[in-house]
Chains A and B, each alone.
Chain A
Amino acid sequence: MTGTAHSTGDRAAGQPAALPARAEVVVRIEKLSKSFDGRLVLDDVHLEVGRSRIVSIIGQSGGGKTTLLRCVNLLERPDHGLLTVAGEPIFSGDRVVCRDLARLRQTVGMVFQRFNLFPHLTAVENVSLAQLRAGVPERQALERSVQLLRRVGLAHRGTAYPEQMSGGEQQRVAIARALALKPAVLLFDEPTSSLDPESTGEVLHVMRELADDGMTMILVTHELPFARDVSDWVVFVDGGRIVEEGKPADVLVRPSELRTRAFLTSYAADH
């Protein structure tokens, strides 16, 4: 299957299941491990994400979801494993093998839980900054930034500063900013966790449009209904390991693992 995630549990000899030849793998993670102060937070994780696929990572807080996501653009450096992005090895064994970290990060857009917009810049400047620093001519960078702000429905807020915008607006600007350098994959780290229900709806609407446009995305999310609707593959992470993965209808509706069932029961009780 294209755009799938594979854990050690569903393949032989601990190797990721091979994707069909037509599937271009954008992100490949093999045997990835990471620890903080001797505490293992990622343990032998395997994941493959094909082009235009959407993988949702779910699980309890502290389970390793965000760390896994942050390893993809090396905001967290893994201890061990193999990591390739858009066909280029970026981490192998226990060292970074990517020659140009800045270019890698331009290939992997990231949207943070707390937006992390630059407060001293207007929305349009937030979106254009990385383009300008990457050498895109000013007018071209501004035109693309305006287009992206239109895409997320915020052209009318282009000259507003982050503090003048609602949480939902800020997160939509953050999405536009992450798209500015035409990334091969977009990472979302709980993009709606800091938002009220109305703002959450606005952000999910934009993400759904991106999904419809064929954007490759990896989401860490607590929005299980959204994950079920848009994802091609759902990964349940607990204790630093991929406990269960599969199609949304399987993992979120008919989970086979006890821990997944317990998580979903707990989620249902809270919502």
Chain B
Amino acid sequence: MGWFQVPWSDYTPALLEGLRRTVGYTVVSFAGAAVLGLVLALLRLSPMRVLRIPATVYTEVFKNVPLLAIIFLTYFGLASAGIRLGVFEAGCASLVIFYAAYLSETFRAAISGVHGGQQEAAEALGLGRVSTFAYVIFPQALRLALPGTNTMLVDLLKSTSLLVTISAAELMTQGRLITSATFRALEVYVVIAAVYFALCYPLSQSLLWLERRIRSGVPLSPRRRRRLKIATELLAEKGAPV
């Protein structure tokens, strides 16, 4: 009698659907958490108390509440108050709320970590507030924030498994359903764990590769590549006197 007794070919569509849902939760939630985290970080760095204090309260509250409690509050708690969110909306909202608090800390530290002289130099060149942030502060902060942000992305992907508690149809939920049908818990969850590993390991390695590329100064955007190509051609030309 072999170790694998679950008829996996029968469950392949369910697993693929779970995979699709897991990736969907991860992409939508991470994008939302990154945007909200950046906004919170900027609010926390604001000199205005009226902006700083609510952002600080938000961060401290949701950093110190378990994700599972947030999932239950969002899905069951709000429903009891008359606000009924779908499973996908509730799942994404929970992940966004929770990870935005952590990402805001990472972003805040990264923005604060950019040397004050950079802001001054940008101001002295006549760059406005938006340009200073977009072209000087943010690119440098991004480099500082990348390691922490990448860790959060992988962590968020793994945390989608907690959505099994609201039957979110992601990988873990599919595993639970297959277990109920086959009573082969060990085999099923070993396979589910392997699928998570197969998702997370390449993702974290890709992010490390991206981090190294950015650190080494390799231009990533086509516009910047084109600009540097033009500059290189001009630099190679014989110079006319200025």
- The answer to whether the Cβ of A39 comes within 8 Å of any Cβ in the partner chain is no
Please determine whether A105 and B126 come into contact, CB atoms closer than 8 angstroms: yes
Which A residue sits closest to B239, measured CB to CB? A150
Please determine whether A75 and B124 come into contact, CB atoms closer than 8 angstroms: yes
- The answer to whether the Cβ of B84 comes within 8 Å of any Cβ in the partner chain is no
Please determine whether A102 and B232 come into contact, CB atoms closer than 8 angstroms: no
Could you pull out 14 A-B pairs where Cβ atoms are within 8 angstroms? A101-B126, A106-B126, A110-B124, A120-B143, A122-B231, A124-B228, A125-B227, A130-B125, A130-B126, A130-B127, A146-B235, A148-B242, A158-B232, A181-B125
* Residue from B117, B124, B235 in contact with A114 in the complex, judged by beta carbons closer than 8 Å: B117
* Smallest CB-CB A-B distances: 9 pairs: A116-B121, A105-B126, A106-B126, A130-B125, A116-B117, A110-B124, A102-B126, A158-B235, A150-B239
Chain B hits for A133, CB < 8 A: 126-128, 131, 135
- The answer to whether the Cβ of A155 comes within 8 Å of any Cβ in the partner chain is yes
Asked whether A105 and B235 contact (CB < 8 A) given A120-B217, A147-B242, the answer is no
Interface residues of B (CB under 8 A from A): 115, 117-118, 120-128, 131, 135-136, 139-140, 143, 217, 227-228, 230-232, 234-235, 237, 239-240, 242
Chain B hits for A161, CB < 8 A: 217
Q: Measured between C-beta atoms, what is the minimum distance from B13 to chain A in Å? A: 46
Interface residues of A (CB under 8 A from B): 73, 75, 101-106, 108-110, 112, 114, 116-120, 122, 124-125, 128-130, 133-134, 138-139, 142-143, 145-151, 155-156, 158-159, 161, 177-178, 180-181
Please determine whether A143 and B228 come into contact, CB atoms closer than 8 angstroms: no
Chain A hits for B232, CB < 8 A: 158-159
Given A124-B228, A124-B231, 20 extra CB contacts under 8 A: A75-B120, A75-B123, A102-B126, A105-B123, A105-B126, A106-B126, A109-B124, A110-B124, A116-B115, A116-B121, A118-B140, A122-B228, A130-B125, A130-B127, A134-B126, A138-B227, A158-B232, A159-B231, A159-B232, A161-B217
Chain A hits for B237, CB < 8 A: 146
Chain A hits for B139, CB < 8 A: 120
Please determine whether B242 and A102 come into contact, CB atoms closer than 8 angstroms: no
CA distance A61 to B150 in the complex (A): 45
CA distance A188 to B118 in the complex (A): 16
Chain A hits for B126, CB < 8 A: 101-106, 130, 133-134, 181
Please determine whether B235 and A155 come into contact, CB atoms closer than 8 angstroms: yes
Please determine whether B230 and A142 come into contact, CB atoms closer than 8 angstroms: yes
Q: Measured between C-beta atoms, what is the minimum distance from A98 to chain B in Å? A: 12
Chain A hits for B230, CB < 8 A: 138-139, 142
* Residue from A102, A112, A159 in contact with B127 in the complex, judged by beta carbons closer than 8 Å: A102
Q: Measured between C-beta atoms, what is the minimum distance from A154 to chain B in Å? A: 10
Chain B hits for A106, CB < 8 A: 125-126
**Max chain A Cβ within 10 angstroms of own Cβ: one of B117, B124, B217, B230:** B124
* Residue from A112, A146, A150 in contact with B121 in the complex, judged by beta carbons closer than 8 Å: A112
Please determine whether B240 and A147 come into contact, CB atoms closer than 8 angstroms: yes
Asked whether A129 and B242 contact (CB < 8 A) given A112-B120, A177-B125, the answer is no
Which A residue sits closest to B237, measured CB to CB? A146
Chain B hits for A148, CB < 8 A: 242
CA distance A161 to B230 in the complex (A): 17
* Residue from A75, A149, A180 in contact with B235 in the complex, judged by beta carbons closer than 8 Å: A149
CA distance A106 to B131 in the complex (A): 14
CA distance A73 to B126 in the complex (A): 10
Asked whether A112 and B235 contact (CB < 8 A) given A147-B240, A181-B125, the answer is no
Please determine whether B121 and A118 come into contact, CB atoms closer than 8 angstroms: yes
Chain A hits for B128, CB < 8 A: 102, 133
Please determine whether B117 and A112 come into contact, CB atoms closer than 8 angstroms: yes
Chain B hits for A110, CB < 8 A: 124
**Max chain A Cβ within 10 angstroms of own Cβ: one of B121, B217, B228:** B121
Please determine whether A147 and B239 come into contact, CB atoms closer than 8 angstroms: yes
Please determine whether B120 and A129 come into contact, CB atoms closer than 8 angstroms: no
CA distance A158 to B234 in the complex (A): 10
Please determine whether A143 and B125 come into contact, CB atoms closer than 8 angstroms: no
CA distance A196 to B127 in the complex (A): 31
